Every structure is written in C-alpha cells, then in structure tokens.
Amino acid sequence: MKMTSVLRLSLAASALAMSAGLAQAQEPVKACLITKTDINPFFVKMKEGATAKAEELGVELMTFAGKIDGDHETQQQAMESCIAAGVKGILITASDTKAIVESVKQAQDAGVLVIALDTPLDPIDAADATFATDNFEAGRLIGAWAAGKLGDAAADARIAFLDLSQSAPSVDVLRDQGFMEGFGIDVKDRARIGDEDDARIVGHEVTSGNEEGGRQAMEALMQIDPNINVVYTINEPAAAGAYEALRSFGKEEDVMIVSIDGGCPGVQNVSEGVIGATSQQYPLKMASMGIEAIAAYAADGTKPEASEGLDFTDTGVNLVTDDAVDGVPSISVADGTDQCWG
C-alpha cells in the first residue's frame, strides 16, 4: 500500500512536470468535476475551463452533472463513483449544500481533496477549500451603483427584488442582502431575505433564475406597485424576463434593472441598455484554479489557502457598465465582453 502511494505521488509530480515539457509517466492524476446541471452555460463554461487546464497539466478529468438544479441524488452517486475511481480531488458545485456534506466526508476519509466551486457548502469548512465569487460583494456593487445613479432620488426609490427560489440557497441570500447593503438598506439579519422593514422595498418574488420566471415575478410586483423604478435580479435570464414584463407595461424606459452573472447575452443586454449594470463572475477561472489545486495536492499534499479576511478563495468579481458611478469600481462593457462566458 505504502509503495503505491509513494508511486502515485511521484507520478503526480511527473504529471505536473509535464507542463514544463518533460515526458509523462504512466498513470496520471485523476480528478472529478461535478456540476449542478449540464444545461446552464455557467457550468458548461466551468467544464471547459476544467477540461482545458486538465489537458495542460496532464490530469485525467471525469465530469458529472445533475439532471436539474437541485438534483442531489445524481451528485451523490457521482461522488461515490469518483471515490471508487480513486481520484485525487473532486470539484463540486453542490445542489444541496447541506446534504452533500456526508458524501464529502466519505471522500476526505479516502484521502480525496474536495473543493467547492461557486457554491459554498453548509458549513463552508466541510470542503477543503471553496473557490467562488464573493456573492455578497457582487450584490453590493450593483446596489451601490444603483444608489449612485439615482442620487437624491434613491431616498424615494421603489425597489423590486427578483430572487431565485423558495429554498433561498446561500447564493440567493448573499446577492439579495449584498444589494441592500450597497443601496443603503438596513438588512437586519444578513442570513435572511425578507426581514427588512425599509419602506422602499416593494416586495420579493422568486424566478427560478429563468426568463419565464422573471416575467411572472415582475408582473406580480408591478401589480403591487406600478411605480417600481429599481429592479434587482438574481441573474441575467431573470433580468431579461423582467424587461419583457416592463415592456408590456410600457415602463421599460422608467425602470433601472441591475443583475449578476456576466454571461455574454447579459453583457450584451448591458450594452443595449436593457440592464443598467451587472456583476461579472468568472466560472472558467474557478474551475482552472480548482484543477491546479488538485495537481498541487497530488504533487506534495499542499491545500489551497482562503483569501485574506474571507473563509473562501475569492475568484473575483467586476461591475460591468459603460455608465460608471464615482466610488464604485467598474469595467467597461468592452472589457466585460472580452471576459464573458456562455
């Protein structure tokens, strides 16, 4: 047993050395990528990033995905398959952040490095590391930008919140509450959506993160208050749906929509004025960093470090808009287009 692990390590080291142009030994390091779905361009991009980096480092990568967002069962089976295949590391975007912890522990007991991508596990330290967007910061940026754009009118804003789902996963809460903080709303409990009493909030609706849900949610909130002039959206498809609803009410000119994602269609919507500003995240980077970390772990057992002052590794976020606001750092739509995904 000992002999083989020594062998494994030396092989991993040689796999790493491959990038330096050396010949590769027989058995490469194995790694797994498990995403929520194969449908969302975000995860498709993640898979691309992981595949490219794995090829570069000579890591053998297996990829799995749930059928739909929230499909925990398939992810659990994938975890078990990965452990059985003897991988060195697993990258996972968990559908059920609490339930997956059990499988994660099994993997760690088998000596596998488990890194959460994009979605922190619950508790966050259940994974060996987390490579993710600072979702609170992503929300804070668009909130601060919206307040800055409105200027004095921010005091009388009528704000609609288009969230993700009933179960309010961490990403949903962080973005929503981050927006509020950026806009200058007292968030009360940072772990809860909907406990705020700011009179400017018209209401929260859920969208499932797609166009149809965005439209339904926007219509419902416009019914409650036709004077809504700021719309926070969980992601760009929901924003596109909201815009359709506003158009049908003839209100698209009077309402500012802000969003999060930085996918190519979303960035294009920023350039066309459908979305005022969006916070861009970098799935490709998350995945390639993840593969690098697994290769390093295989080589000498080092585990990745969290970012300064955070309990995860921040893969960066940029506000994309051509209409910059003082005091809120942003990049241009052209730069956002260069780095967009999907």
Partner 1 sequence: MSDTPDPVVERNSSETVASFQHNDRGLLHKVQHFLHRYPTMVPVIVLVLSLIAFGLIAPNFFSAFNLSLIMQQVAVVGTLAAAQSLVVLTAGIDLSVGAVMVMISVIMGRLSIDFGVPVPIAILLGLGCGMLTGWLNGFLVTRLKLPPFITTLGTWNIFLALNYYLSGRETIRSQTLDSEAPLLKLFGERFNLGGAVLTWGVVLMLLVFGVLWYALNKTAWGRRVYAVGDDPEAAALAGIQTNRVLMSVYMVAGFICALAAWSSIGRVGSVSPTSFFESNLESITAVVIGGISLFGGRGSIMGPLIGALIVGVFNSGLRLAGVDVLWQLFATGWLIIVAVAVDQWIRKISS
CA distance 307 to 150: 33
Which position among 223, 254, 303, 311 is part of the footprint of partner 1 (CB under 8 A)? 223
Given the complex with partner 1, which of 111 and 265 has the nearer CB atom?
Answer: 265
Residue whose entry in the numeric block shows the structure tokens 């050396």: 22
Instruction: Report the sign of the C-alpha dihedral through residues 288, 289, 290, 294, in that order.
Output: positive
Given the complex with partner 1, which of 195 and 311 has the nearer CB atom?
Answer: 195
Given the complex with partner 1, which of 204 and 285 has the nearer CB atom?
Answer: 204
Do 287 and 42 form a contact (C-beta atoms < 8 A)?
Answer: no
Residue 208 CB, shortest distance to partner 1, in Å, is: 7
- Beta-strand relationship, 89-92 and 256-261: unpaired
Which position among 212, 254, 300, 323 is part of the footprint of partner 1 (CB under 8 A)? 212
Among candidates 91, 95, 141, which has minimal Cα distance to 112? 91
Question: Pattern 251-290, binding to partner 1, x per CB under 8 A?
Answer: --------------x--xx--x-x----------------
Residue 29 CB, shortest distance to partner 1, in Å, is: 29
Q: Looking at 5-13, 37-45, 84-92, 184-192, which segment touches partner 1 (CB under 8 A)? A: 37-45
SS3 76: helix
CA distance 204 to 323: 27
Residue 213 lies near partner 1 (rule: CB under 8 A): yes
Among candidates 271, 207, 224, 274, which has minimal Cα distance to 244? 274
Positions touching partner 1 (CB under 8 A) are 38-41, 44, 68, 166, 203, 205-206, 208, 210-213, 215-216, 219-220, 223-224, 237, 240-241, 243-244, 247-248, 265, 268-269, 272, 274, 342
